[in-house]
Amino acid sequence: MDKLTPNMLIAALVLPLFYLAIYIDLLVDRWRGSGHYDWPDTVASLGVGIANSALGAVTIAVRIAIYTWAYTHAALFEWSLASPWTWVLGLLLYDFSYYWQHRMGHEWNLLWASHVVHHSSDRFNLSTALRVPSATMNLWTWLFALPLAVLGVPPVVYAVATLLNLLYQFWIHTERVGRLGWFDRVFGSPSNHRVHHGVNERYLDKNYGGILMLWDQLFGTYEDERADEPVRFGTRAPVRSFDVLWINLDTFWKLCRDALATRRAWDRVQLWWRGPGWRPADVAARDPKPAFDLSTHEHLQAQAPGAVGLYTQIHVALLVPPMVLALIAAPLTSPLGHLWIALHVAFGAQVLSMLAGPRWKRALALEALRLLSLLAFAIDGAWLGGFAMPEPLRWAVVLIALASLAALPLLARRWDSISGSPTGDRASATAV
């Protein structure tokens, strides 16, 4: 038990509560007819979060290790963990560094290629909060925390501040909470975070703060939400897909394509730290993109059977326990064992997101493969990575896998029944 860490407790308790809150909010949305959720988008958001959480345990460890190394070798001051000021100032300084991390994530193409995943949904709800590419963002966010290590902020304070900042921001991803008066001017809130996710010219690149809006007020990036200009969510170069893998790769692929297409070596280099939307002049001349027009902004929707939606939402929820296992197993099993669990979870998230798109036939075959492997693990009695399954859980997994395999032909028939329509097997758009 000496390998147990606070992160394991958070994974075991807080993350499942977040997913439970999302499903409750989704049911409330259906009951009220609010239209804040659309099932393919929700499955994509949750799939992105689940896959990145499972795969991100290693990159989180790398980020903390780099910070600890910098603190050990470069700290100018020693802060007492017994002093409450260490924790208060550490949280404040981290929130300041988060502002710049977040802002540069919007201003440099290389960083935006990762952070854009969080903005890729044209919906704004609690599931959007979990559409975070943590597996890739952990590879660069530590850069902005290095000044804290030099100042002597202890690694445990940095880790706790990072966690609190992340947990705080879950509740601000909603349209269900309106303006909150003075609170909006001081703290991160649903209103000013809706602004942050907006593609309207007035709202673009505003309200970067995590917990405090103080930094936006100081550096001129604060903007109020206006009743006369509803926020339109998403990005100005939308991914137009619900595929988890493509959501993660789309912007990076476009940047690579422009870098390879330009004839100027300097443009090939500077492209990566230019702002989103910048393109080499020769590439833009040969392959022009239309200017963004808010009046044509549309929701991406999948013309997919409702039975597919029900199936994918149930199975995304069933991926949460193995995702938690992937997080808590990292210090308890071999790297190969952890990778095996993480890849299984990520594969499931990917396949479920494909079921709403044009590759649904391939997705059904891959889903059958996933369920058969799950069935084999359950019959063997050992979970991925060598963890023994309790007997009741073992038989529950067997029954779920068998029932799901039996449901796949039904899903195929439902798809076939609508595949003759012009948009029956592809994503379409509806006006906002």
Report which of 69, 61, 15, 67 is spatially closest to residue 339, judged by C-alpha positions: 61
Average pLDDT, the chain: 89
What pTM was estimated for this model as a whole? 0.91
The stretch 388-405 carries a mean pLDDT of 89
pLDDT range class, residue 194, cuts 50, 70, 90: very high
Distance CA 20, CA 172 (A): 16
pLDDT range class, residue 7, cuts 50, 70, 90: low
The stretch 185-208 carries a mean pLDDT of 97
pLDDT of residue 233: 97
pLDDT of residue 382: 67
Say if residue 165's pLDDT is above 60: yes
Spell out a b/e string for 259-286, using b for 16 or more CB atoms within 10 Å of the CB, else e: beebeeeebeeebeebebeebbeebeee
The stretch 112-121 carries a mean pLDDT of 96
- Continuous segment of H or E residues that includes residue 367: helix 360-380
The stretch 299-311 carries a mean pLDDT of 90
pLDDT range class, residue 387, cuts 50, 70, 90: low
pLDDT of residue 1: 40
Say if residue 383's pLDDT is above 80: no
Say if residue 389's pLDDT is above 80: no
Lowest mean pLDDT among 207-211, 246-250, 424-428: 424-428
The stretch 321-330 carries a mean pLDDT of 78
